[in-house]
Amino acid sequence: MTTDPRIDALAPGTILGMKYRIDRLLGEGGMGAVYAAYHIDLRKQVALKVIAARHSTDQRTIERFRLEARMASQARHPNIVEVLDLGNADNRWFLAMELLEGLDLFDAIVMKRTYDPLEIVPVLDQVLSALETAHGLGLVHRDLKPENVFLARSHDGDVHVKILDFGVVKVVDEGASAHLTRTGTVVGTPEYMSPEQATDNKVDARSDLYSVGCIAYAMLCGCPPFVDKSVLRVLSAQVTQTPRAPSMLRPGMAHATQVDDFVLRALEKRPPQRYQTAREMRAALHALARVLGGLKTVSQRITLPSAEALDRTHPEGTPSAEDLASTLPDSESEAGPPRLAAPPAQPPPLLPAPSTTGVRAHPTGVSTLGVVLAAAIGALIAAVVTYLLVRR
């Protein structure tokens, strides 16, 4: 794994807080890094999330970090990653969590290309079960995406979902102090963001359910509903455009009508038209499961793609933009959302340019005004085209 030069990585063998020994780097980002570590006193392996030293005096970052620890600790659930410790050592804030074995859902999608409808049921059921608990505590995750849904293998060999990263959580009805984003800025991941979040309007639990719909779409189709190299175009599409039904990208999909109905209701633009609670969406998922193969499919075992398949996809486990571009036929190089499998015949794309980053998306902060202007321009163009077509 190549180390980001912006991150002051901790070397293996470093002792943090007189109790954690750093073993190896697991991942990194702009805010810090995650390590496999060893609790010396408890003799236990943990995952250690450490804020980069350059952010150690940023009060907003520290407060968000502490909020993540507190919220994840309160939302105790088998499908939410367990927080074990929070502390500061040598002016480095750290968060200790259970160390998970497995892979995130993004990598699983890369390896499997697409999931069959039956296969998405147990994964979504566990995600929604966790959200029932979180939402019951007034917590809205706000950054649900395949990268934050981890497929963890337990000691008995079973695979369970673990929801990660409560770092941009919002506490509903707790006041502005709990909402740590800047006014006029959208924070989240555009490809999995609800319309109300994209325009920095008030969000509630139904925003997370929209994100679950995007995750279901990505599992079925190999890409989220809207993908483009422009963040503003993606956000505009989330606000103004209707996604194609999954069956349009997966011709011949079993029980296509019922699967489309389940996913597209979650992706309704207006929150009142979506599922209103995680429990309601979970009940709809169970109803779909009965159609697909019986309620037993809800509790069927989740399987992980083989590590060899991941290695074949990319030597470091994560595909590069070039890898993803190489999976697209020449006819798709100038238009249409990228897929990780050969695309079926389909109608003209909603978005004219493919993403250069593939399915894996990253959180971003963009101006609300820019999103609104982009959405308004998109709506105006659509209206003009419709008018001209009618005149013809």
Same fold, 15-98 and 104-317+329-340+348-369: no
Which of residues 162 and 92 earns the better pLDDT score?
A: 162
Q: What is the token pair recorded at 105? A: 């859902």
Q: 216 with 224: CB under 8 angstroms?
A: no
Considering the entire predicted model, what is its pTM? 0.76
CA distance 296 to 286: 9
- Which CATH superfamily includes the segment(s) 104-317+329-340+348-369? Transferase(Phosphotransferase) domain 1 (1.10.510.10)
Pairing of strands 102-104, 92-98: unpaired
- Residue 80 is classified by DSSP as B
Q: How far is CA 373 from CA 181, 182, 352, 377, in A?
A: 21, 19, 19, 6
- Residues with active-site annotation: 143
Share of the chain above pLDDT 70, in %: 70
Q: 5 with 24: CB under 8 angstroms?
A: no
Q: Counting every residue, how long is the chain?
A: 392
CA distance 88 to 90: 7
Which of residues 218 and 329 earns the better pLDDT score?
A: 218
Q: What average pLDDT does range 300-312 have in this prediction?
A: 64
Question: Edge to edge, what strands does the sheet with 20-28 contain?
Answer: 15-16, 20-28, 32-39, 44-51, 92-98, 83-89
Q: 239 with 174: CB under 8 angstroms?
A: no
Domains of the chain, by residue range, sit at 15-98, 104-317+329-340+348-369
Phi-psi region of 81 (alpha: psi -120 to 50; beta: other; left: phi over 0): beta
Report the Cα–Cα distance between both ends of the chain, in Å, rounded.
57
Q: What average pLDDT does range 238-255 have in this prediction?
A: 94
Q: Is the pLDDT of residue 326 over 50?
A: no
pLDDT at 171: 56
Per CATH, the number for 15-98 is: 3.30.200.20
